[in-house]
Structure 1
Amino acid sequence: MSRYRINSGEFKHHIIIQQLDKVRNEYGELIDTWVDFLGIRAAIYPLSGKDFFAAETVNSEVTHKINIRYIEGITSAMRIKFGNRFFEITAPPINFQERNILLQIMCKERYYES
């Protein structure tokens, strides 16, 4: 079995994982709002042309791969905030080598108005 070690130097980006939640506004109405779930260090990789075409068979809109340390509870219903950029999680995160060490998250960049 291969030994996989995380190179912590790769995790140079601070991201915030957000989840959609219902929050009451000033009128007492429940509205959908993105709330912070977790702040964590991550490695963000834009997909190269080769990776993009390989991913096209699964999902043609994947633009980035984001690696984080393994954490339970991350789902494809969440999104990732990196500075003023947002990434939609396109598929359930992959538990790399099923070893509970690293999560690989395939995303597509989305643009939202402030």
Structure 2
Amino acid sequence: MIDAGKLRERVTVQIASGTTNALGETVLAWANSTAVWASVEGVSAREALAAGQQEVTVTHKVQLRYLPGLTQNMRLAWRNRTLEIVSLLEHDNRRRHEAICQETRDG
């Protein structure tokens, strides 16, 4: 169970939708879905190095109450930052999610 006092940050779940441009290319557009309270923590250098076995640099761990339908294909918007979900874990018999994220730069 998550201590409600630790859920101090507001994050917005964003869902991608593909549209086709004039050249026939698929272009991703992100739409806001749900805003939820979460705990957002930067990971330590040691955790980032351990996760570096993948080709991804993990920058944040986000803890939130279980959100049905949340998948790795979504991303989180937080404090004018974009957090791509690298791994999504379910804990406590579907009572909470832990999203392992990589901060990305838009544009």
Q: Where on the TM-score scale, by shorter chain, does this alignment land: which range?
A: 0.7 to 0.9
Q: Over residues 39-59 of structure 1, what are the superposed CA-to-partner deviations in whole Å (9 max), with x where a residue is unaligned?
A: 100100100122222322355
Whole-Å separation in 1 of the counterparts to 2:70 and 2:54 = 20
User: TM-score normalized by structure 2?
Assistant: 0.83
Between the two proteins, the alignment pairs up a number of residues equal to 103
Whole-Å separation in 2 of the counterparts to 1:31 and 1:56 = 29
- Structure 1 residue aligned with 2:34: 38
Contact 1:52 1:60 in 2 (8 A): no
Whole-Å separation in 1 of the counterparts to 2:33 and 2:15 = 6
SS of residue matched to 1:112: coil
What does 1:93-112 align with in structure 2 at a 5 Å threshold? 93-97=88-92, 99-112=93-106
Whole-Å separation in 2 of the counterparts to 1:38 and 1:88 = 16
SS of residue matched to 1:51: helix
SS of residue matched to 2:64: strand
Query: Is the aligned partner of 1:57 residue 2:57?
Result: no
Residues 45 and 59 (structure 1 numbering): CA distance in 2 closer, same or farther, change over 3 Å?
A: farther
Whole-Å separation in 1 of the counterparts to 2:34 and 2:72 = 15
Which runs of 5 or more structure 1 residues have no equivalent in the other structure?
none
- Structure 2 residue aligned with 1:6: 2
Larger radius of gyration: 1
Q: Which has the higher strand share?
A: 2
- Structure 2 residue aligned with 1:85: 81
User: TM-score normalized by structure 1?
Assistant: 0.79
Which runs of 5 or more structure 2 residues have no equivalent in the other structure?
none
Report the alpha carbon displacement of residue 22 of structure 1 after superposing the two structures with TM. Answer: 4.1
